[in-house]
Amino acid sequence: MSRKKTLSRKKKISLLVGAAALVGGTAVVMTGTSQASVACDGFATALGNNEAFIAGQRSAPDAQSEARIANRVAVIEQIKVQQKASGCRVGEGGKGVVAGGAVQAPPAVKTPPVKAPPAKTPPVKAPPAAGGAGNGAGQVVCPGSTVTLFNEEGAPGASSGQFPIGTTLRVTNLDNSKSTTVKVTSTSASCVLLNNAAFEQVREPGKFLIRKARIERVG
C-alpha cells in the first residue's frame, strides 16, 4: 500500500511540472503573436480596402475602371508578399460588401477610434508637404479612419468615395506628425486613399497603413 501511494505522488508531481512548462511556453508564444498581429491587421485592412475598391469598379465601371483595377491587383499582390514575409495569413483581408451597386468600405482595424481634438484645442501644426497648400486649419472629416495607399504613379494625389474630384484634403500621420496636402483625382470605396507619391511623404518605414490619421478638408 505504501508503494502505491509513493508512485501516485510522483505521478502527480510529474504532471504538475509538465503543466507548468506548457503554460510557460504558451505565454511566450502568445507574446510573440500579439506583436505580429499588429502588422498582420494592417496588411489585412489594406488588402480589404483594395478588394472593396475593385468590387466597386466592377459593379459600376467607367472608361478608367480597367486601368484602376489593374493597379489595385498589383497592390494586392505586393501586400500578399508582405503578409508572407511577416508570417501573416496570405490573402487575409476585410471584405467590401456590394449593396445596391455601392461598395461599403470594410470595417477599420478593431482598435478604438481616434478621437478628434476638442474644438478649443489648437490644431497640430504639421510641416507643409512639398508643393502642397499651407498649414491653415481645415475641417476635420472621417474621424477614426485609417489611411492606406493605392498603386498609382505621378504627382501626389488621393482617391475618395466621400469627396468629389478636385477636393483638397490634408492627411496627417499622428504617429510621426508628417502631413501631405493633395487633391482628390479619382474615386474609391474609402474616405481617402493616397497614391504612391503622397503616401511616401507621410509613411513610417516599412508600414503600409496609417492607423492614427487626421484627415482635413481644406479646399
* pLDDT, tens only, 126-176: 444 433 434 567 899 999 889 998 888 889 999 999 999 999 999 999 999
204 & 111 share domain? yes
110 & 82 share domain? no
Q: Which domain holds residue 181?
A: 105-217
Residue 187 Cα to chain centre, angstroms: 18
- pTM value? 0.42
Domain boundary among 88, 103, 118: 103
Dist CA 178 CA 156 (whole Å):
14
CB 126 within 8 A of CB 178: yes
77 & 128 share domain? no
pLDDT in tens, the chain (219 residues): 444 444 455 454 444 434 333 333 333 334 455 666 777 888 888 888 888 889 999 999 988 888 889 888 888 888 898 888 888 888 887 654 433 334 444 444 455 666 666 666 555 554 444 334 345 678 999 998 899 988 888 899 999 999 999 999 999 999 999 999 999 999 988 899 999 999 999 999 988 899 999 999 998
Q: Strands, E, within 130-196: which ranges?
A: 139-141, 147-148, 158-160, 168-173, 178-187, 193-194
85 & 129 share domain? no
115 & 207 share domain? yes
Domain boundary among 103, 124, 139: 103
Dist CA 216 CA 137 (whole Å):
8
> Number of structural domains, the chain?
2
